[in-house]
């Protein structure tokens, strides 16, 4: 636990929120995508956050992971795909239409995605505020000597 571990924790949260916003942006961009590399329409992605011990490697990591009283940063553990079946629209002239003339569109609700994006942006803002407070606290402690 050194002077900068608070900054590292907030930094990990900033990274995680940025990744979350990236995933939301990908969902919004692909809201109408009818084919993807894995076949079928684009599937909505969602991030799963997990607490992680800091620092990320080495002896200090093993020690921190084994101890009970440990502060943890956050990381994106995985990006899961939403199993909701695609929406079917009757568009027989579309190149991705099936034998019955239906095209599968991703089950993405842009409003939900926007709310998620706002959540990510607010959480980012909040962690930036935490970084600023940490810096102010450290600088205040330096003022003790002067």
Least Å distance, CB 39 to another protein, is 29
Q: Give contact residues for another protein (rule: CB under 8 A).
A: 3-4, 7-8, 10-11, 14-15, 18, 128, 131, 135, 138-139, 142, 145-146
Least Å distance, CB 21 to another protein, is 12
Alpha carbon separation from 91 to 34, 71, 78, 109, 114 (Å, rounded): 12, 54, 35, 20, 27
Q: Which is nearer to another protein, 7 or 79 (CB)?
A: 7
Q: Which is nearer to another protein, 111 or 145 (CB)?
A: 145
Least Å distance, CB 78 to another protein, is 19
Other CB atoms within 10 Å distance of the CB of residue 13: 21
Q: Which is nearer to another protein, 94 or 135 (CB)?
A: 135
Q: Is 1 exposed, middle or buried (0-12, 13-18, 19+ CB in 10 A)?
A: exposed
């Amino acid at each position: 636990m050194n002077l900068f571990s608070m900054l590292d924790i907030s930094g990990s949260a900033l990274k995680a929120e940025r990744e979350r916003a990236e995933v939301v942006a990908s969902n919004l961009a692909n809201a109408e995508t009818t084919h993807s590399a894995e076949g079928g329409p684009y599937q909505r992605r969602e991030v799963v956050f997990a607490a992680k011990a800091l620092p990320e490697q080495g002896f200090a990591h093993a020690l921190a992971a084994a101890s009970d009283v440990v502060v943890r940063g956050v990381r994106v553990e995985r990006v899961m795909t939403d199993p909701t079946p695609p929406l079917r629209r009757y568009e027989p002239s579309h190149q991705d239409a099936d034998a019955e003339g239906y095209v599968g569109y991703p089950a993405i609700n842009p409003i939900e995605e926007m709310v998620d994006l706002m959540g990510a942006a607010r959480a980012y803002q909040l962690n930036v505020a935490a970084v600023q407070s940490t810096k102010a606290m450290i600088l205040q402690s330096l003022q003790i000597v002067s």
